[in-house]
Structure 1
Amino acid sequence: MALQNLSSTLLVTALPCSYVSSARNHNRTFATEGRVQCIKTTDTMIDQVNGAALRRNANYPPSSWDYNFVKSLNSDYTEEKYARQLDELKDLVKRLIHAETDDPLAKLELLDTVQRLGLNHRFQNDVKQAINVIYNNISEASLSDDLYTTALQFRMLREHGYTVSQDVFRRFKDDTGNFKANLCEDVKGLLSLYEASFYGFQGEDIIDEAKAFSTACLKNAVEQGKIALNMTAKVNHALDMPLHWKLTRVEARWYIDAYEKEQNINSNLLNFAKLDYNIIQSVYQKEVSKLASWWVETGLDKMSFARDRLVEHYFWCNGTVPDPGYKAFRDMGTKVICLLIIIDDLYDIYGSLEELELFTDYVDRWDITEIDKLPNNLKTVLLAMFNTTNQIGYWTLQERDFNIIPYFSKQWTYMCKAFLKEAKWYYSGYKPTLEEYMQNGAVSSAAPIVLFCAYFRTADKITVEALDYIDKLPSIMWCSSMILRLTNDLGTSSEELARGDSLKAVQCYMNDTGASEAESRKYVDSLVHETWKILNKDLLASYPVGEPFRTANANLARTAQTFYQHGDGLGIPQNYIKDLLKSFLLEPFALNR
């Protein structure tokens, strides 16, 4: 079947549209593998000389971080020390946001700048109020014929939950239904259109056309070298990754530097952004320093078969919930990610099938009385899982008056069963279809357990209704999980196949269709774009959970995009990840005197 003909079929069968409930139920019941003939005995080879087990090893590089250095991180930029300066600057910026103006474009640009400078956590309600005023004043007569203004307004309104029609872009099309050719001369407008196009929903043909048109024109403008250097930098930054997919703190780091080079900047806004960035950086330093001590004390950093990535795992939690007020999630969430990555490596690389079935059974029963049947490394990991879960449960009972352990243990079971299914595929030589792989892969991505933690660590009040809702893996969680799964596969599948892992999404599609690897990668990338469209729509719906959880779903997807953008940023950290983490944690801005 041709690539383009199969596309619509897989999007119906593999992504959560109208069928999301059936896909969801399949994930949670872990149906029998059907054609898979599972091997029930260990595949671990035995050294004939000394009888020791010979195990596979991914040969992951060691951590890039000296944990003694990480434990020593400290900064003078505390909120208490700069409280007076912060209050003064915050008051000035708040006045800017609420100032009356006859120029709605200037107000939109100001709000966009506040957000891109990383200040939305300081002015979230103020920005929402200002956006609401703009939305209420929109009329047919007020719609602009300027592409830059129209696209900026569309993006900002959709970002804040307003349903704006794609028809606002019809005025920029010619009689043949195509975007007008002369728009390619308007680089500023094209860049605005490009960023807006990533807020599209499924079925919005005009938005799809806008994305293709603006991308092609912007690439051509850069290649021809006919635009100014500062605009070229902005275009390349956007083409590298659209704003909607970027992490708030990562974008703030880049945008503060870019904004400082602009003409007619607001110095108070810039100074506030720099000071705020430094203060939040100091908060993050204290958090990761404490976690480094925990990590070394557990001894889990000595598991040579697994990825030792404490700082990267902290950054993953930070990307998911960056607000300084949610340090409890980043603390416990990082610990959970450290464990789940080791467990992932147990199932993918280290454990025999017999050992993995025992491990899964103990987790499923939440019972470790027969733990001595496991080798030492598996016992250590299992005990670490139980101990950490109980510690989190104790905290939750004390702070939230809720026993989270029965729900938490169930999430561990879902994940381990998904890991086990993939291990059985590997040991039996079974090649799953892309649909089978994706249905299991949403859970084996481990995103659901991270999002589960994000809920109960950020909720003001934990409710059974919300936990039952999360347990069903609703579309908003499915999409976030799938973006992680697919971007992970695009960034790591070659390395993982080389060491003997089971097939990934790219190879499943190749087996399904006979397509080349290049065609298959292009197709899987298109699934990422389609899943974002569904997630965009999901972010506008109502849920029995709070705003932090809703935002965490999109942020987890953004974190995945960041880690796997140029390869395996977690298993084999690339230089761009190392540089990103260095600037994120270690490099404050020089403040203007």
Structure 2
Amino acid sequence: MDPLAKLEQIDMLQRLGLSYHFEEEINNLLKGIHSSDFGKDTWKDNLHATSLKFRLLRQHEYWVPQGETILEEARNFTSKHLKDFVSNNKEENYLSTLVGHALEVPVQWRVPRVEARWFIDLCRNKHIDLNPTFLELAILDFNIVQSTHQQELKELYRDISTKIFLLLTVVDDTYDSYGTLDELERFTHAFQRWYYGGNTPTFEEYLENGWLSIAAPIVLVIAYVCVTNHVTEEAMKVMEQYPSIIRQASIIGRLTNDLSTLPFELEKGNVPTSIHCYMNEFGASDAEARQHIKFVIDETWKQMNKDRVENSTFSHTFMDICTNLARMTMWFYDGRDGFGIQYQCKTKDCASLLLLNSIPFGHEDQDD
């Protein structure tokens, strides 16, 4: 294969959820491309090849040098023209569907297994020109993994770390959604001085406290202990300070939650969120505050991506857990409270697709 064909195959394996079977082969291919092509512009005349190479190398923690400002300009330029493409190609064809999907949320921000199920169903429905062996393997693999997850869920209910997570969730959601000041007087004393004393914090003050106020940092520390074979005293001292990758994942969770649950929490009379604090500090409108918070989320993702490359303290497994937690919160709070409000159909439907409903073989319009 030529280098571009190799990259396209890697991309297809990732989209189908199969790349974990070929980690060594993929790493060897990317290492070869990175070392032989580093610092050269041999693909500069092929935008598709250049962008795919750049994305895959960065996803696999090769920090390809490139000015971030140039990337911002390129993203703004391509997004504008791709939106025009989608609006002019409203028929449900494969390419316009892929482009529209990419414009909604970057692939790096998406939950991998959710994305794999979506892409497999797309391939089955659109009759795309895909190696049938790839698709059959993806379906078989997805169903096997789903069966494994079903068994793991049974075991997790008996696991102590799960009980800790559930306790944290109950406390956090009770405070956010159902607690009254009388019932939670001690728990909310500090926040009462913020809100009812008229001392609304600045946006930065809120952020410094807000990312610690959710369960994410504690959950990630527990996850680190669970997936690390030999936990050293030095490593735990590092974890006590909440390293950058934990901090960034928690900030994304906090701000994404604020963007989606603000109306509900204001109705309940809860403490200020990041939107409220930004509006109060800068005299901004609700729309301006939300735009700034989306900018902060975007910048935080950049730092997380950089942390994955520069931080050699943690295993790839743990860094994947941090990244996936951020992805999960972005999905849960995608314009809705998909975690705290029970009647959110999108959350239930997705859980069913991932954990309950296996994928039949063959195309959707065929008898399975």
**Is the TM value for this pair above 0.5?**
yes
Match of 2:204 among 435, 456, 464: 435
Higher Rg: 1
Note if contact 1:469-1:544 (Cα within 8 Å) is conserved in structure 2. no
Cα distance between partner residues in 2 of 1:476 and 1:144: 33
Match of 2:89 among 222, 225, 248: 225
Q: Which residue of 2 aligns with 1:460?
A: 229
Give the 5 Å matches for 1:23-422. 101=1, 103-138=2-37, 140=40, 142-166=42-66, 204-225=68-89, 229-260=93-124, 261=126, 263-290=128-155, 331-348=159-176, 349-350=178-179, 352=181, 357=186, 421-422=190-191
> Does residue 578 in structure 1 map to residue 348 in structure 2?
yes
Note if contact 1:486-1:505 (Cα within 8 Å) is conserved in structure 2. yes
Deviation at 1:287, TM superposition (A): 2.8
Cα distance between partner residues in 2 of 1:141 and 1:488: 41
CA 1:355–1:146 in 2, change beyond 3 Å: closer, same or farther? closer
How big is each residue's C-alpha offset from its partner over 1:55-99, in whole Å with a ceiling of 9 and x where there is no partner?
Answer: xxxxxxxxxxxxxxxxxxxxxxxxxxxxxxxxxxxxxxxxxxxxx
CA 1:141–1:347 in 2, change beyond 3 Å: closer, same or farther? closer
The 10-residue stretch of structure 1 (552-561 or 253-262) with the greater mean CA deviation from structure 2: 253-262
Cα distance between partner residues in 2 of 1:580 and 1:557: 17
CA 1:591–1:120 in 2, change beyond 3 Å: closer, same or farther? same
Cα distance between partner residues in 2 of 1:205 and 1:514: 28
Match of 2:264 among 495, 499, 509: 495
Cα distance between partner residues in 1 of 2:250 and 2:191: 16
Deviation at 1:267, TM superposition (A): 2.0
Note if contact 1:347-1:420 (Cα within 8 Å) is conserved in structure 2. no
Cα distance between partner residues in 2 of 1:437 and 1:286: 41
Q: Which residue of 2 aligns with 1:446?
A: 215
Cα distance between partner residues in 2 of 1:590 and 1:461: 42
Cα distance between partner residues in 1 of 2:165 and 2:195: 24
Note if contact 2:90-2:96 (Cα within 8 Å) is conserved in structure 1. no
CA 1:345–1:136 in 2, change beyond 3 Å: closer, same or farther? closer
Note if contact 2:146-2:355 (Cα within 8 Å) is conserved in structure 1. yes
Cα distance between partner residues in 2 of 1:125 and 1:278: 23
Cα distance between partner residues in 2 of 1:559 and 1:214: 26
Cα distance between partner residues in 2 of 1:427 and 1:223: 48
Match of 1:528 among 281, 284, 297: 297
Cα distance between partner residues in 1 of 2:37 and 2:215: 42
> Does residue 554 in structure 1 map to residue 323 in structure 2?
yes
Q: Which residue of 1 aligns with 2:281?
A: 512
Deviation at 1:474, TM superposition (A): 1.7
How big is each residue's C-alpha offset from its partner over 1:185-213, in whole Å with a ceiling of 9 and x where there is no partner?
Answer: xxxxxxxxxxxxxxxxxxx1101111211
Cα distance between partner residues in 2 of 1:291 and 1:549: 18
Cα distance between partner residues in 1 of 2:272 and 2:64: 41
CA 1:556–1:421 in 2, change beyond 3 Å: closer, same or farther? farther
CA 1:130–1:333 in 2, change beyond 3 Å: closer, same or farther? farther
SS state at 1:137 partner: helix
Cα distance between partner residues in 2 of 1:288 and 1:226: 40
Deviation at 1:125, TM superposition (A): 2.1
Deviation at 1:499, TM superposition (A): 0.8
> What root-mean-square deviation, in Å, do the aligned CA atoms of Structure 1 and Structure 2 show?
2.3
Note if contact 2:173-2:340 (Cα within 8 Å) is conserved in structure 1. no
Note if contact 1:466-1:545 (Cα within 8 Å) is conserved in structure 2. no
Q: Which residue of 2 aligns with 1:76?
A: none
CA 1:228–1:166 in 2, change beyond 3 Å: closer, same or farther? farther
Note if contact 2:149-2:355 (Cα within 8 Å) is conserved in structure 1. yes
Q: Which residue of 1 aligns with 2:359?
A: 589
Cα distance between partner residues in 2 of 1:521 and 1:332: 38
Cα distance between partner residues in 1 of 2:312 and 2:353: 36
CA 1:476–1:421 in 2, change beyond 3 Å: closer, same or farther? farther
CA 1:291–1:552 in 2, change beyond 3 Å: closer, same or farther? closer
Note if contact 1:484-1:557 (Cα within 8 Å) is conserved in structure 2. yes
How big is each residue's C-alpha offset from its partner over 1:510-541, in whole Å with a ceiling of 9 and x where there is no partner?
Answer: 10011111111111111111111111111111
TM-score (norm 1): 0.57
Deviation at 1:136, TM superposition (A): 1.9
Q: Which residue of 1 aligns with 2:365?
A: none
Deviation at 1:497, TM superposition (A): 0.9
Unaligned runs of 5+ in 2: 363-367
- Partner amino acid for 1:516? S
CA 1:355–1:166 in 2, change beyond 3 Å: closer, same or farther? closer
Deviation at 1:141, TM superposition (A): 5.6
Note if contact 2:94-2:128 (Cα within 8 Å) is conserved in structure 1. no
Cα distance between partner residues in 2 of 1:227 and 1:340: 46
How big is each residue's C-alpha offset from its partner over 1:132-176, in whole Å with a ceiling of 9 and x where there is no partner?
Answer: 122122152633311111000000001111121226xxxxxxxxx
The 10-residue stretch of structure 1 (116-125 or 498-507) with the greater mean CA deviation from structure 2: 116-125
Runs of 4+ in structure 1 displaced over 6 angstroms? none
SS state at 1:544 partner: coil
| Alignment: residue pair count | 359
CA 1:591–1:523 in 2, change beyond 3 Å: closer, same or farther? same
Cα distance between partner residues in 1 of 2:216 and 2:108: 19
